Structure 1
Amino acid sequence: MISKEQKQEIITKFGGESTNTGSTQAQIALLTFRINDLQGHFKKNPKDNAGIRGLLKMVGQRRRLLKYLKNNDIAQYRALIAELGLRK
């Protein structure tokens, strides 16, 4: 689970300001944090199929946002995936 402070820190780091929650980079970073956080849950609960569905929806949303960022600003895309440690 992500706390308010962690969320604000991620948004400030990737969005520029704490109020810039709609920036593509901030949304991708938040989704990445949530996806990484859920991986431990699924190691303990492999039969949580409803949760796995939600995880797959988050992964798909992140993929679409990354595609949008790649098409609009390739330099920011490359910097973001390097900073988040994503394989692309």
Structure 2
Amino acid sequence: MHLNSDEKVEIFEKYGKGKTHLTEHLRANHKDYTTARALKALVGKRRRLLDYLIRKDINRYRAIIAQKELGIRK
């Protein structure tokens, strides 16, 4: 799923904690291993939370995945 810049900004404003865009930063600074590690940790945390949600409340999980603007897929 490819999003343009305006759509990304809108999603970050709606769901994000801040205006930091780690993926764009890593594209420009490919040797920034600390930020890459932090991004992987955040993605892993999200994956674990979604796995927990699958076990506890499958309908809520499906509702989150159905939100196309988040770009989350299994």
Q: Structures share a fold, TM > 0.5?
A: yes
- The aligned runs of 1:1-88 (5 Å cut-off) are 6=13, 10=15, 30=16, 37-83=21-67, 84-88=70-74
How far 1:80 sits from its partner (Å)?
A: 0.4
**Segments of 4+ in structure 1 off by > 4 A?**
none
Letter in 2 for 1:68: Y
Segments of structure 1 that go 5 or more residues without pairing to the other structure are 1-5, 11-29
Select the structure with the greater relative contact order (CA < 8 A; seq sep ≥ 6): 2
- Using structure 2 for the length normalisation, give the TM-score: 0.67
The size of the alignment, in residue pairs, is 59
Q: Which structure shows the bigger proportion of residues in helix conformation?
A: 1
TM-score, normalization by structure 1: 0.58
Structure 2 Cα separation of the partners of residues 69 and 60 of structure 1: 14
Identity %: 46
Cα RMSD (Å): 2.2
